[in-house]
Structure 1
Amino acid sequence: MDEILQVKNVSKEYGIRGFRTKVLENINLEVKRGEFIAIMGPSGAGKTTLLNLMSTLDNPSKGEILLDGIKITKTKNKDLSQIRRDKIGFIFQDYNLLDNMSLMDNIALPLALERVSSLEIEKRVLKMASIFGIEDHLKKYPCELSGGQKQRGSAARALIKNPSVVFADEPTGALDSRASSDLLQCLSEINTKEKSTIIMVTHDPLTASYAKEIYMLNDGKVSCRLSSDGNRKNFYGKIIDMLASVGGQV
């Protein structure tokens, strides 16, 4: 597998000269195509900042980031917009579905904006809906859906164009345990079957156990990395041990 994302000596600071706060310091990581990565760490460790940098929503103070071979840290804003449209999918904690559109139209929106034919749109929406178990809810509006159904719809929308990488920021943060499990099983399935690359920020060890690799951030640095052996129960135990070794706070 080749690298879909490379982060090289990336640092991020905020503030003005003399009053600057360093959030990330010399971060290095590589994500191969088809991997499922989780980023964990205590509050203030820089998890969301790192996600924003990797997904082109912010720029590092130092270092470079390559996405699918493109140096996004050297790319103009208008070209970054096209990269987001063509290569990136987003899953947010608060769903970001449009209330005045049906679930089917919400999922189809990225394809409709690209003027894909209606027959192709229907085919791809139905495929995504089947994977995420929401085929019976496509005619409903967001106000008629549960939180879990909304989030699975959001995930289906993020993946509808088969992006190079999907970024998920606390995707289970607003869900109960059953809805969280349903979503994560769907993401794990699509990662395995479709080789979709997923990078997820989470504070929850159970959520993180669905990933294949975990990067732990502490004080703006990568403090350790864990790899799954394919047994999620064993991996969950390793995550708990890791959290205990760093104080148990995420």
Structure 2
Amino acid sequence: MKEILKLDGVCKEYGIKGFKNKVLRDVSLTVNEGEFISIMGPSGAGKSTLLNLVSTLDKPTKGTILLDGVDITKVKNKELSKIRRDNIGFIFQDYNLLDNMKLMDNIALPLALGRKKTKDIEDKVKQMAELFGLSDHLKKYPYELSGGQQQRGSAARALITKPKVIFADEPTGALDTRSSSDLLECMTRANKEENATIIMVTHDAISASYSDKVYMLTDGEIKCHIEKGNSRKEFYSRILDLLASMGGAR
């Protein structure tokens, strides 16, 4: 199985000498192609910091981060921008769709910026729209869509370039239960059908139960992880037990 992301001894500190705050401590983690993992932990555990490091938005104080075999801790900013454009997709809590563009144009944007052929863009937009249940909404503007539809549009846009890895930061945080379920089922389908590699940060046990593995980050360290069996319901129960044993994840 191909390694897409590998962290080895990653540490992150902020501040000046004598007043340093150690946010991450010796974090090591390997994510293989086609995996869907969740990272959970209490507020202040370092989840957002970890996500910023692996998504090239920040650099560690110490350690290495290999993204598809490239040590992104040693890459210059110009090359990082290219890696971000070609290899990484983002799904944020806020939908970040452009209000003056129809949904089809929002989804197509990464390919349009990459100067892809019009026919190829149209075909790919239709494929992503079908995958995310948006085929009937492509000609609508974001303000005409529900929050769940907007977030699925954001996810479709993140996947349209077929990036090496998708980073999802609390993607269901602004959604109701039904919309969250719809989004997570679509993400799972993308994971299985498109072999999308997904790393999701979440505090929500229900959301985490859609993934294949859950890693618990506490006090800047990955304390443990659990893997899904055959049942999502059983996995959800085990996640709750893990959170209880760790003192909760909020």
Same fold (TM over 0.5): yes
SS at match of 2:73: helix
For 1:212-227, what aligned pairs fall within 5 Å after superposition? 212-227=212-227
SS at match of 1:162: coil
User: What residue number does 2:18 align with?
Assistant: 18
Q: How far apart are the structure 1 equivalents of 2:47 and 2:182?
A: 24
Letter of the 2:181 counterpart: S
Unpaired segments of 5 or more residues in structure 1? none
Q: How far apart are the structure 2 equivalents of 1:249 and 1:199?
A: 17
Cα deviation code 1:209-242 (max 9, x no counterpart)? 0000111000000111011113101100110110
Q: How far apart are the structure 2 equivalents of 1:42 and 1:98?
A: 32
SS at match of 2:23: strand
In the TM superposition, structure 1's runs of 4+ consecutive aligned residues that sit over 6 Å from their partners are: none
CA contact 1:108–1:157 (8 Å) conserved in 2: yes
- Please say which of residues 205-214 and 137-146 is displaced more in the overlay: 137-146
SS at match of 1:154: helix
For 1:94-243, what aligned pairs fall within 5 Å after superposition? 94-243=94-243
CA contact 1:34–1:195 (8 Å) conserved in 2: yes
Q: C-alpha displacement at 1:117, in angstroms?
A: 1.1
CA contact 2:215–2:226 (8 Å) conserved in 1: yes
Cα deviation code 1:84-142 (max 9, x no counterpart)? 00000000100111111111000000000111111111100000000000111111111
SS at match of 2:56: coil
What number of residue pairs does the alignment pair up?
250
Cα deviation code 1:163-182 (max 9, x no counterpart)? 00000000000000000000
SS at match of 1:59: coil
Letter of the 1:49 counterpart: T
Unpaired segments of 5 or more residues in structure 2? none
CA contact 2:40–2:249 (8 Å) conserved in 1: no
Q: C-alpha displacement at 1:17, in angstroms?
A: 1.6
CA contact 1:212–1:230 (8 Å) conserved in 2: no
SS at match of 1:234: helix
TM-score, normalised by the number of residues in structure 1:
0.99
Over the matched positions of the two proteins, sequence identity in percent amounts to: 66
Q: How far apart are the structure 1 equivalents of 2:215 and 2:182?
A: 23
Matched, 1:33 2:9: no
TM-score, normalised by the number of residues in structure 2:
0.99
Letter of the 1:186 counterpart: C
Q: How far apart are the structure 2 equivalents of 1:156 and 1:193?
A: 14
Letter of the 1:135 counterpart: S
Q: C-alpha displacement at 1:249, in angstroms?
A: 3.5
Letter of the 2:156 counterpart: A
CA contact 2:134–2:153 (8 Å) conserved in 1: yes
Aligned alpha-carbon RMSD (Å): 0.7
Q: C-alpha displacement at 1:19, in angstroms?
A: 1.3
User: What residue number does 1:55 align with?
Assistant: 55
